[in-house]
Structure 1
Amino acid sequence: MALYVYAIVAENHPASVEEMSGVGSESAPVRVLASGPLRAVVSDISEEIRPKRRDLLIHQEVQERLMQGGPVLPLQFGYTAPDEATVEEVLRRDADSYLANLERLDGCAEYHVRASQDEEQLLRQILRETPEAQELNERIRSGEEDPQLPLALGQLVAAQVRERQEALASGLVEAMVPFSREHSIREASGDDFLNFSLLVPEDRKQEFLASQANLAQEIEDDVELRLSGPLPPYSFVQ
């Protein structure tokens, strides 16, 4: 039977998941599959798994339970294997790599930081503080019909937005990275101008959280800093 695979842990991990039910419309018990010095946490599956809310929550709950017992290599949602033999073979073949990753992640959790900025306030700030933008805006408002004026103003404002947000993002990253063992910066999307993850050791957790809280208070009112965590270290599994 096909298996849904949640995570990989070391043989000394308690993996206390016996009472948990897995993903899928016909939930099977979550169980542990052993191979050498490693364990895969799995459940039987008889269907194609799609990212429904219920199954996403179950996947995350299993990861969080495992985190309580020691380092874990969490798999992204939706990973399946055709049978037990395939999982066992992968664990045997890549044992050294998995063990090295578990050692690297031991005692750490992932924290995810996003930042966004109120667009209207930022645009007003740029118009207020940039003489060239003020001049172009006044010429447009006065009725000047040069069709290049709106384009020039738009390009100037876009450049200012990018420059200011890149500088702000760089400053936020620089302030938080010292509390992490590793970090990963991703391309921001939507209204966000910052999207990055940090691998924070347990012994730096309180310092990190205090620093993040101070930053949230110190940054301008139009900037929203959002923190998620502690999370399974998805971003740092190699």
Structure 2
Amino acid sequence: MPVYVYSITPAAHPCRLEGLDGVGAEPAPVRAITAGQLCAVVSDIDEEIRPKRRDLTAHQAVQERLMSDGTILPLQFGYTAPDDEAVTQVLQERADGYLDVLERLRGCAEYHVKASQDEDALLREILHDSDRARLLNDRIRAGDADPRLPLELGEIVAGEVQERQESLAAGLVRSLVSLAGDHRVHPPTGDDILSISLLVQDDHRDAFLKAEARLAEQVENVHFRFSGPLPPYSFV
């Protein structure tokens, strides 16, 4: 029977799965398949699993329960296998690699940081610093109808915005990665200038969170969004 695979753990992990609902319209019990030094946490499925809110919540609940008791190798939503035998075979064939990753993740959690910048404040900064941009802006505001003016001003502002945001993001990355054992920089989306995942040892968590708070206070006109501790999806 097909199974949905949530996570891989060491065989010594307690795998407290009581009371957890699996994914699917009619969730099956969440259970563990053991092979040598590893376990895979799975549940039976009889349908194609899609990223519905209920199933995403069930998937995350399993990860959080497992993570509260020890190191896990969390799988992204949607991983399935044909049956228990296929799962056992993969655990056996890839045991060394999985054990290496589990050792690297031992005692760690993922934290995610996103940052966006106040665009109005950035524009004021550019107009203050750039004589040419300020002159063009003053001429436009005074009623100069030359169609070349907004085009040139737009090019200057776009170039300055890109340069300054890239420089700011690089500086934020340097500040954050010094506090983590590993990191992954993701392409920012929307209005964000930064999206980064950090792997932090549990015994460094308090220092990391305090450093995050200090950074948010020190950097002007930047809005930070911090999340964590999370299962270390980005480092599997």
Assess same fold via TM > 0.5: yes
Which position in structure 1 is the counterpart of 2:233? 234
Question: What SS class does the counterpart of residue 179 from structure 1 fall into?
Answer: coil
1:136 counterpart letter in structure 2: L
3-state SS of 1:98 partner: helix
Match of 1:37 in 2: 37
For normalisation by structure 2, the TM-score amounts to 0.96
SS of 1:68's partner is helix
Partner of 1:57: 57
Measure, in 2, the Cα distance between the counterparts of 1:112 and 1:180: 11
Check conservation: 2:20, 2:61, Cα contact below 8 A: no
Instruction: Map Cα deviations across residues 105-124 of structure 1 (whole Å, 9 max, x no partner).
Output: 00100000000012222222
Deviation at 1:146, TM superposition (A): 3.0
Q: What is the distance in 1 between the residues matched to 2:214 and 2:228?
A: 17
Deviations 1:25-46 (A, max 9, x none): 1011110011121100001111
Structure 1 length normalisation: TM-score? 0.95
Map of 1:96 onto structure 2:
96
The equivalent of 2:224 in structure 1 is 225
Q: Does 1:47 align with 2:47?
A: yes
Q: Which runs of 5+ in 1 are unaligned?
A: none
Give the match's secondary structure for 2:178. helix
- 34-43 vs 141-150, greater mean Cα deviation: 141-150
Is 1:206 aligned to 2:206, yes or no?
yes
Displaced runs of 4 or more, over 6 A: none
Deviation for aligned residue 1:129: 2.6
Q: Distance in 2 between matches of 1:21 and 1:186?
A: 31
Tell me the distance in 2 between the aligned counterparts of 1:43 and 1:23.
Answer: 8
Aligned residues: 236
How many angstroms apart in 1 are the aligned matches of 2:145 and 2:112? 47
RMSD: 1.2
CA distance in 2, matches of 1:76, 1:21: 17
Structure 1: distance between partners of 2:217 and 2:141 = 37
Q: How many percent of aligned residue pairs carry the same amino acid?
A: 58
Matches within 5 A, 1:116-127: 116-127=116-127
Deviation at residue 141 of structure 1 after TM alignment: 2.5
User: 2 CA distance for matches of 1:17 and 1:153?
Assistant: 60
Q: Give, in whole Å, the separation in 1 of the partners of 2:147 and 2:82.
A: 62
Q: Distance in 2 between matches of 1:39 and 1:166?
A: 43
Query: Which residue identity does 2:226 align to in structure 1?
Result: L
Query: Which whole-Å deviations, capped at 9, do the CAs of 1:173-201 have from their partners, x for residues lacking one?
Result: 11121121101101101010000010001
Q: Which secondary structure does the structure 2 equivalent of 1:39 belong to?
A: strand
Instruction: Measure, in 1, the Cα distance between the counterparts of 2:217 and 2:31.
Output: 44
